Amino acid sequence: MPGSERSYGAYLEARRRDGLRRGLTGIEARDARTIRIGGEAYVNFASNDYLALRFHPALINRAEAWAEEHGVGSGASRLVTGNLDLFAGIESKVAALKQKPAALIMASGFQANASVLQALFDRSVLGAEPLVFSDRLNHASIHFGCAASGAREIRYRHGDAPHLGVLLSQYQGDGRPRFILTESVFSMDGDVAPLAEMGRLAREHDAMLIVDDAHATGILGEAGRGLSGEADVVIGTFSKALGGFGAYVACSETLREYLINRCIGLIYSTALPPPVLGAIDAALDLVPSLDAERAHVASLAKRFRLGARVLGYDTGASTTQIVPLIAGSNHAALSLSKRLRDAGIFATAIRPPTVPAGTARLRLAFTAAHTEADIEGLLTALDDRALPRSATA
Ligand SMILES: Cc1ncc(COP(=O)(O)O)c(C=O)c1O
């Protein structure tokens, strides 16, 4: 056995000791509300399918139809022969939804953040080292894209526009290109960035505002547009409220052309396959009409937040369909997750480095498939008074 193999084993053992070891659980899913694990059914509060579109017949039908008509693969990168005629229509729908001049479809949100940010912060193109002001709780793929570009991130306190303003002022007048990077809805906290204030700061300091709208597109904002109105560049994914897979960048025509020429995640990766594009296309057609679903999800999340707070739980600053229950230690989060599992409810424990040390949590996500009774069941399972004595000890 090579010595490196022993190092990997030792790493895994240390992760286990610290309650940080991750594993893959086999899941059966036949509808948007429940999952089965090892033959047991659970109400699923851990997926990002906020509009429950994953099983929607319109998406399935168009995915099937486009597979029949165009094949199950695209055959090559978009720059070779993979740029099927299907892309143009979808990109104009995305540009219209996001109210931007142009859009570019990419393979996944992770890939988009990793490679679009790398291309945008390219010092050799900008002619100077960029100044990248980034929320400290931004998604791992955002930090990864910054690291890949070699740009140093200047991290401001989470959601703290005044702090961002102070940092921007410190670099006032030094002439380097500036960028502000944030999620609109933070994936592990369910709170919303102060986007209006950030837009104002971006204009004041001649910075490009880049917003990852992954957790707002489809589920928040007028007609499901998301919350990225202030942004110069929006990055988002079709894998959450839009129920499928794939990602987009919404931006100016110039930036779209630049990315086609410079973004390695687009250039060196096979284009999305027709069935996936079919699901995206159908979801984009549906999203504007889903106001009732958006209102239902918002009301479930509100009811849950109120109930959880009454039970003494810390739901952080959530105002959206994502609600954390901040448990503190890794073991506390794991045992809360287990307790819910024993009650037929699935909620994953989220631990560092996904969230800061000491803030391990359950991340609950509400979807259009959940019912009010599901929320009451969840609150009952979280109520210590409802637990058998041995479980509270
Ligand atoms: C804020 C944010 N950006 C990007 C991604 C990645 O998107 P995808 O799942 O399409 O790779 C995620 C999801 O994990 C996310 O939460």
Between the CA of 214 and the centroid of ligand 1 the distance, in Å, is: 6
> Of the given ranges (66-75, 139-148, 168-177, 272-281), which has the lowest mean pLDDT?
168-177
Contact yes or no for 156/197 (Cβ under 8 A): no
Element holding 302 (H helix, E strand): helix 291-310
d(CA 111, CA 108): 5
Contact yes or no for 160/154 (Cβ under 8 A): no
pLDDT tens digits, 71-116: 999 999 999 999 999 999 999 999 999 999 999 999 999 999 999 9
Beta-bridge mates of residue 235: 212, 249
Query: In the structure, what pLDDT confidence band is assigned to residue 389 with cuts at 50, 70 and 90?
Result: very low
Two tokens, residue 259: 């990315």
187 lines ligand 1 (CB under 6 A): yes
Query: In the structure, what pLDDT confidence band is assigned to residue 265 with cuts at 50, 70 and 90?
Result: very high
Residue 183 annotated to the active site:
yes
110 lines ligand 1 (CB under 6 A): yes
pLDDT tens digits, 119-142: 999 999 999 999 999 999 999 999
**Burial tier of 248 (Cβ tally within 10 Å: 0-12, 13-18, 19+):** buried
What does the mean pLDDT of the chain come to?
A: 96
The residue with tokens 């995915």 is 63
Within 10 A of 304 (CB to CB), how many other CB atoms are there?
26
> Does pLDDT of 387 surpass 80?
no
Q: What angle do CA 47, 181, 101 make, to 5 degrees?
A: 90
Short-list 88, 110, 86, CA closest to 275: 86
> Does pLDDT of 49 surpass 70?
yes
Between the CA of 87 and the centroid of ligand 1 the distance, in Å, is: 21
pTM: 0.95
pLDDT tens digits, 343-376: 999 999 999 999 999 999 999 999 999 999 999 9
What does the pLDDT read at residue 237? 98
Cβ neighbours of residue 158 under 8 Å, at least 6 residues apart? 135, 136, 137, 186, 189
pLDDT tens digits, 281-291: 999 999 999 99
Report DSSP letters for 205-244, one per residue. Answer: TTEEEEEE-TTTTTTSSGGG--S-TT-SEEEEESSSTT-S
367 lines ligand 1 (CB under 6 A): no
Contact yes or no for 9/21 (Cβ under 8 A): no
Q: Give, for ligand 1, the residue of 191, 240, 242, 249 to mutate: max count of ligand atoms closer than 8 Å to Cβ.
A: 240
What does the pLDDT read at residue 388? 45
> Does pLDDT of 174 surpass 90?
no
Q: Give, for ligand 1, the residue of 186, 187, 189, 217 to mutate: max count of ligand atoms closer than 8 Å to Cβ.
A: 187
Residue 135 annotated to the active site:
no
What does the pLDDT read at residue 164? 98
Query: In the structure, what pLDDT confidence band is assigned to residue 392 with cuts at 50, 70 and 90?
Result: very low
